[in-house]
A and B are shown apart, each in its own frame.
Chain A
């Protein structure tokens, strides 16, 4: 009887529309940044000042475009555009609109806003300078500088998705750089160095897997200590073997730069994306393959299940610990390949601690990118761009304290993990040993 009575009530309650909670963080943040742009950039330039930007299109028909813009008007246009985007964000939050035409508003408003803000900053920085900002080399340099970050972030993504926290990206990069340089110098062949780099990284990955999966040591501890180990070992060998035989090891080899025939003729995009070191093309492949394979293939599904719910994975017959070991080694190999950037792609001999903390930044890029290859790529590019910004602005002679520019990506990361940009969820069971 009672069951009959409650049934209609339940149905009635289900008819209520469930409203998603609103978060005002995004519109507030965008409004603040718009005001910053207005007060900091627009109102601080002198009237009649011009901003010069040179865009090398890389196309023989178009050549180089030299833009000379009146600074104030150009900045005003960007600021108005930013204000419009902030307005869209207010409207979308108020009406709980999430998507327009199938695209998430949060993503494209954020990306457009960021682009406008950075553009406004650049125009402001070069306002009234005699030298033009080299726009194309700013972008191509940023891509080049982000190679180790992207490879490192891919390595981190693979490892963490399978449930192993990989803090030893730094060590894997360094080991890859070392072995690539040494074998490259001995054989005088950059391609052999390129083959050696992932092997070195994989060895560090193997050590990580041994201690983390086999002996259940805390993953972060192993990672940090492996970084110290690789740093010490490579520095020791550098100071002994490498410096005592300068005739062999001071010689460096460099990976060639390839111009892809038709694609490199595309204006602006061509010289940025398709006239780069071979390592960049390998990086494109790595990101695309991982993005597809992680989320669309059997291998990816199994890998992710070991990180999210190892017991369930075990129940359906996946060998959790074997999967973890194999893919941690794979991750190490990817990071090791990225290490080739420091020596082979730059054409440099090995130097002590030459990875200089890039592995940790790659780790941050992976988290900022939400444990996805696609997101990690964008985050790593952001870091690379910030890194290159001070090179480009230094050429123009801008005296923005470079320390603050270098700080920016780290601050962005802190804001991101503190939830301003939105919560990112790590794989549920990462860092937990599976003792099945």
Chain B
């Protein structure tokens, strides 16, 4: 009888410790801790580049107070500017609109990141490493822009046509690596990297043509977008239809991936292409479809650049670095729609806050890149985060438990 009791798993000491253990091993905690580590590293960089901190470091031991106040001052002011630029502005709280103006800016910055992040996330889940969002955005912008400044249409229809153009442009650029992967097995990483560069040169060439050149300008920029092809704005803020479309796109992607047959196929192919093929699925066509949809979504990311504010022009920097930033967004969001939206908002906020931080405290916005990359690296390597914070390893605990079971079972066998 006593042996039988030993077979029972180790009793949890209390519900609280069980809950704590679950929390300590959860993905959410890993994500939060990764952000903490990134902010600490960022603080070190800010402090190291600050003149006051450097000076007070010289006499650290005679007057340590100076050093720590300089340290706190430089890091504190930079991060508070970052926060105020991204979430809300504490100092100018005259109206609700002004108070939340930074938040609306964050949302505006997050729109292209969400679109492109959703696109890349879909690819990742199909086992495709699509680095081509940059090129897909450029092609989407090219077509969207061309339709925007040449056509003369009533307001609503023009906008829809431009959106379609952005989708088709991106989808076309996504189709190429998709079909090459499907038909020839060409490595999509290389093809998409190449297509990114080709897209830049293609747009550069188009901008030298008369059809794409702003009349009377020597600069390689296009004519201005027609006012009929603009997103309607909400409540006089910078939030516009683009954000709503991004959210709708996230919901649509969720539905495709989780509820539709196509999504099931895509996930199956991503998990194990050989098994999917054996089960009778058309792996090649799945690749093509994923790349078409993902390319189209990435193309839509261009719309926030062209259709959000009035009279935008197509230029060579139209895609900024959204395509590459979106890789980190998709990774941080673990390729899931909800995660991607949240990650897009976080990185959009970092960008919005980064500009305020740069202008008000002189901390270069480049530090945002460091924060982003550290966050993504750490989230990709949970064991490293656990090692930094000395958290329990769920894998090891499970193994230890299994060993205890086995030992108990062996004892039981020996006893009988």
The answer on a CB contact under 8 Å between B366 and A364 is no
The answer on a CB contact under 8 Å between A237 and B381 is no
Q: Which of A211, A215, A403, A414 contacts B186 (CB 8 A)?
A: A414
| Given A221-B380, A228-B372: A417 in contact with B186 (beta carbons within 8 A) | yes
CB distance from A182 to the nearest CB of B (A): 14
Taking CB atoms, residues of chain A closer than 8 Å to B198 are 407, 410-411
The answer on a CB contact under 8 Å between B381 and A220 is no
Taking CB atoms, residues of chain B closer than 8 Å to A411 are 194, 198
Q: Judge if B111 is at the interface, Cβ distance under 8 Å.
A: no
Q: Judge if B191 is at the interface, Cβ distance under 8 Å.
A: yes
- Mark each residue of chain B from 74 to 90: 1 if its CB lies under 8 Å from any CB of chain A, else 0: 00000000000000000
The answer on a CB contact under 8 Å between A401 and B208 is yes
The answer on a CB contact under 8 Å between A221 and B331 is yes
The answer on a CB contact under 8 Å between B377 and A225 is yes
Taking CB atoms, residues of chain B closer than 8 Å to A401 are 205, 208
Q: Which of B184, B197, B205, B208 contacts A357 (CB 8 A)?
A: B197
The answer on a CB contact under 8 Å between B194 and A217 is no
CB distance from A353 to the nearest CB of B (A): 10
Q: Judge if B247 is at the interface, Cβ distance under 8 Å.
A: no
| Given A240-B364, A367-B190: A229 in contact with B197 (beta carbons within 8 A) | no
CB distance from B321 to the nearest CB of A (A): 9
Q: Judge if A406 is at the interface, Cβ distance under 8 Å.
A: yes
| Given A236-B364, A240-B49, A413-B190: A231 in contact with B369 (beta carbons within 8 A) | yes
Q: Judge if B338 is at the interface, Cβ distance under 8 Å.
A: no
The answer on a CB contact under 8 Å between A235 and B205 is no
Q: Judge if A40 is at the interface, Cβ distance under 8 Å.
A: no
Q: How many residue pairs, one in A and one in B, have C-beta atoms under 8 Å apart?
A: 128
Taking CB atoms, residues of chain B closer than 8 Å to A167 are 189
A237 to B374, CA, bound (A): 16
| Given A211-B381, A215-B384, A225-B376: A236 in contact with B370 (beta carbons within 8 A) | yes
Q: Judge if A265 is at the interface, Cβ distance under 8 Å.
A: no
Taking CB atoms, residues of chain A closer than 8 Å to B281 are none
The answer on a CB contact under 8 Å between A229 and B373 is yes
CB distance from B414 to the nearest CB of A (A): 32
The answer on a CB contact under 8 Å between A239 and B366 is yes
- Mark each residue of chain A from 211 to 252: 1 if its CB lies under 8 Å from any CB of chain B, else 0: 100010110111011101101110111111100100000000
The answer on a CB contact under 8 Å between B205 and A404 is yes
Q: Judge if A147 is at the interface, Cβ distance under 8 Å.
A: no
The answer on a CB contact under 8 Å between A407 and B197 is yes
Question: In the complex, which residue of chain A has the Cβ closest to the Cβ of B177?
Answer: A414
CB distance from A304 to the nearest CB of B (A): 20
CB distance from A354 to the nearest CB of B (A): 14
CB distance from B271 to the nearest CB of A (A): 15
Q: Judge if B59 is at the interface, Cβ distance under 8 Å.
A: no
Taking CB atoms, residues of chain B closer than 8 Å to A120 are none
The answer on a CB contact under 8 Å between B373 and A228 is yes
CB distance from B208 to the nearest CB of A (A): 7
| Given A217-B380, A226-B373: A232 in contact with B366 (beta carbons within 8 A) | yes
- Mark each residue of chain B from 218 to 231: 1 if its CB lies under 8 Å from any CB of chain A, else 0: 00000000000000
Q: Judge if A363 is at the interface, Cβ distance under 8 Å.
A: yes
The answer on a CB contact under 8 Å between A225 and B367 is no
| Given A222-B380, A407-B198: A419 in contact with B184 (beta carbons within 8 A) | yes
Taking CB atoms, residues of chain A closer than 8 Å to B374 are 229
Taking CB atoms, residues of chain B closer than 8 Å to A363 are 190, 193
The B160-184 residues at the A interface (CB cut-off 8 A) are: 180, 184
| Given A236-B45, A240-B49: A229 in contact with B369 (beta carbons within 8 A) | yes
A220 to B131, CA, bound (A): 10
CB distance from A88 to the nearest CB of B (A): 26
Taking CB atoms, residues of chain A closer than 8 Å to B384 are 211, 215
Q: Which of B186, B190, B195, B324 has the most CB of A within 10 A?
A: B190
| Given A229-B374, A240-B364: A217 in contact with B381 (beta carbons within 8 A) | yes
The answer on a CB contact under 8 Å between A211 and B190 is no
Taking CB atoms, residues of chain B closer than 8 Å to A236 are 45, 49, 364, 366-367, 369-370
CB distance from A337 to the nearest CB of B (A): 23
Q: Judge if A90 is at the interface, Cβ distance under 8 Å.
A: no
| Given A360-B193, A413-B190, A417-B191: A229 in contact with B370 (beta carbons within 8 A) | yes
- Mark each residue of chain A from 86 to 119: 1 if its CB lies under 8 Å from any CB of chain B, else 0: 0000000000000000000000000000000000
CB distance from B358 to the nearest CB of A (A): 9
Q: Judge if A418 is at the interface, Cβ distance under 8 Å.
A: yes
Taking CB atoms, residues of chain B closer than 8 Å to A211 are 377, 380-381, 384
The answer on a CB contact under 8 Å between B380 and A414 is no
- Mark each residue of chain A from 391 to 405: 1 if its CB lies under 8 Å from any CB of chain B, else 0: 000000000010110
A413 to B185, CA, bound (A): 14
A413 to B195, CA, bound (A): 10
CB distance from B191 to the nearest CB of A (A): 6
A367 to B328, CA, bound (A): 25
Taking CB atoms, residues of chain B closer than 8 Å to A238 are 366
Taking CB atoms, residues of chain A closer than 8 Å to B186 are 414, 417-419
Q: Which of B193, B202, B327, B374 has the most CB of A within 10 A?
A: B193
| Given A228-B328, A236-B45, A240-B364: A403 in contact with B205 (beta carbons within 8 A) | yes
CB distance from B416 to the nearest CB of A (A): 36
Taking CB atoms, residues of chain A closer than 8 Å to B205 are 401, 403-404
Q: Judge if B201 is at the interface, Cβ distance under 8 Å.
A: yes
Q: Which of B51, B197, B327 contacts A224 (CB 8 A)?
A: B327
The answer on a CB contact under 8 Å between B201 and A406 is yes
The answer on a CB contact under 8 Å between A410 and B197 is yes
Taking CB atoms, residues of chain A closer than 8 Å to B191 are 414, 417-418
CB distance from B35 to the nearest CB of A (A): 15
Q: Judge if B57 is at the interface, Cβ distance under 8 Å.
A: no
A153 to B376, CA, bound (A): 26
CB distance from A345 to the nearest CB of B (A): 23
Q: Judge if B204 is at the interface, Cβ distance under 8 Å.
A: yes
CB distance from B213 to the nearest CB of A (A): 14
- Mark each residue of chain B from 355 to 395: 1 if its CB lies under 8 Å from any CB of chain A, else 0: 00000000010111110111011001101100000000000
- Mark each residue of chain B from 4 to 33: 1 if its CB lies under 8 Å from any CB of chain A, else 0: 000000000000000000000000000000
Q: Which of B45, B49, B197, B204 has the most CB of A within 10 A?
A: B197
Taking CB atoms, residues of chain B closer than 8 Å to A221 are 331, 376, 380
Q: Judge if B289 is at the interface, Cβ distance under 8 Å.
A: no
A231 to B208, CA, bound (A): 30
A361 to B200, CA, bound (A): 15
Question: In the complex, which residue of chain B has the Cβ closest to the Cβ of A232?
Answer: B369
CB distance from B195 to the nearest CB of A (A): 7
| Given A232-B370, A363-B190, A413-B194: A418 in contact with B184 (beta carbons within 8 A) | yes
Taking CB atoms, residues of chain A closer than 8 Å to B131 are 224
Q: Judge if B254 is at the interface, Cβ distance under 8 Å.
A: no
Question: In the complex, which residue of chain A has the Cβ closest to the Cβ of B382?
Answer: A215
Known: A215-B383, A406-B201, A419-B184. 18 other contacts (CB 8 A): A217-B381, A218-B380, A222-B380, A224-B324, A225-B331, A228-B373, A229-B369, A232-B367, A232-B373, A235-B366, A352-B366, A407-B202, A410-B194, A411-B194, A414-B195, A417-B180, A418-B180, A418-B186
- 27 CB-based A-B contacts, threshold 8 Å: A167-B189, A217-B377, A217-B381, A226-B373, A229-B373, A229-B374, A232-B372, A233-B45, A233-B366, A235-B364, A236-B367, A236-B370, A239-B364, A239-B366, A240-B364, A357-B197, A360-B197, A401-B208, A403-B201, A403-B204, A403-B205, A404-B201, A404-B205, A410-B195, A414-B186, A417-B190, A419-B184
